[in-house]
Structure 1
Amino acid sequence: MTAEAATEFRYPAVIAHEGEAVPQHLLFAGGPNGPRLRHARPRPGDWGHGVLRARQKANRLGRPIFPAVHTRRQWQYIDHGLCQVCTRPARDPESGRWWWLLSDDGRSAAQGYTNAPPTCQGCIPEAITQCPHLRKAAAVYTASSYQPYGVLANLYAPFDGLAIPVMEKVELTLSDPLCGQALATQLLVHLRDLQPEHSWGHGQ
């Protein structure tokens, strides 16, 4: 890669960086439905959609960790409909529909859900060009609306008040009782009225 090309490369804003990782100090404490996972030192914003969220710094320092995402940014971009690359609104002002760039593996489109925030129309070509996975299997869609339905999370079990890790990368619905034992790393959304944008082509 030339120096000029390197300066043009832009990692999506949703990507996590090495310098943003922090230890997760967790414990179980009493709640109305029994012990519930929480951070040892609670802060505003620990919870999202009723689920405890992983902590990270927000400095974007260090090497980008592709394809790992930054939990809070991923959550924010989905909740506010912002593009995961440039952070501008991803909703088409004319049609009112949301642009979504998905991996063309059949799973996301067929089942109508994803962990990816939307991608605005202007950033779609860049995202496809710069992501090796999307270059092989990219599909562009629009959705009339979307709704959070679950989380990707790591599960913990209580032991003398401590939190013991038991399982990683588990998909849970927001109503699952196991959410009380979960540390969410990504928000999952259901896309409504998903329509392919054939003008972009697939597998570009």
Structure 2
Amino acid sequence: MTGVAATRLRAPAVVAREGEAVPQYVVFAEGANGPRLRHARPRPGDWGHGFLRARQKTNRRGHPIFPAVHARRQWQYIDLGLCQVCGRPARDPVSGRWWWLLSDDGQSAAQGYTNAPPTCPGCIPEAIAQCPYLRKAAAVYTVTDYEPYGVLANLYRPLGELAIPVMEGVELTLSDPLRGQALATQLLVLFHSLQPEPLPAD
């Protein structure tokens, strides 16, 4: 397992847990541009970058659910530049660059954006040991900066005030015309000055 002892492995901070799931009670309400999805009982923090965000508890109770990602922590860790494994800052204090661990299928690096939060160098070996996709092929990068690009979301259609689910895991940009029908589950970020780096030693 890439030299990381099994006893040292822990569930990454960004992974969802069994005790955090809640039903998504969403409805449509008339807005300035037509029907818009919202939670049946609105709360502060429901919205991010113009999208309605999925709800989850944040108590970290219960067994981790691999490979499910906790929607709010994923969003928060990206916004704050925190490591998806330990939750500490993933920015190099000397270079000022953020560290990112991606599956080396060429897709994330080529497209220039991802839904994965950053990963600090100290946690990269552990992250690879935990993830079967990364064990097959992992690549490490640093970036000078990054910015919100879009979301992964579940789409609904209105039937009066009712919200009928129609599609899951759809990529939408921040300006997508379907954003009023979307329940965002993960934030996507666009990289600036992506640079490959060697894999840190275990």
Common fold: TM-score over 0.5: yes
Note the residue ranges of structure 1 that are not aligned, 5 or more in a row. Answer: none
Q: Map of 1:1-204 to 2, 5 A cutoff?
A: 7-197=7-197, 199-200=198-199
Deviation at 1:70, TM superposition (A): 0.3
Q: Distance in 2 between matches of 1:166 and 1:98?
A: 36
Instruction: Name the amino acid aligned to 2:57.
Output: K
Deviations 1:28-55 (A, max 9, x none): 0121111100000001111111100100
Q: Distance in 1 between matches of 2:180 and 2:156?
A: 9
Q: Distance in 2 between matches of 1:123 and 1:109?
A: 20
Instruction: Name the amino acid aligned to 1:55.
Output: R
Q: Distance in 2 between matches of 1:61 and 1:151?
A: 26
Deviation at 1:137, TM superposition (A): 1.1
Note the residue ranges of structure 2 that are not aligned, 5 or more in a row. Answer: none
Instruction: Name the amino acid aligned to 1:39.
Output: H
Deviations 1:139-176 (A, max 9, x none): 00001110111000000011021100011111000100
Sequence identity of aligned pairs in percent? Answer: 80
Instruction: Name the amino acid aligned to 1:186.
Output: Q
TM-score by length of 1: 0.93
Q: Distance in 1 between matches of 2:89 and 2:199?
A: 20
Deviations 1:162-196 (A, max 9, x none): 10001111100010010100000100011111111
Q: Distance in 1 between matches of 2:97 and 2:180?
A: 34
Q: Distance in 2 between matches of 1:131 and 1:6?
A: 13
Deviation at 1:6, TM superposition (A): 5.6
Q: Distance in 1 between matches of 2:29 and 2:101?
A: 40
Instruction: Name the amino acid aligned to 1:67.
Output: P
TM-score by length of 2: 0.94
Aligned residues: 197
Deviates more, 1:35-44 or 1:129-138: 129-138
Q: Distance in 2 between matches of 1:44 and 1:106?
A: 38
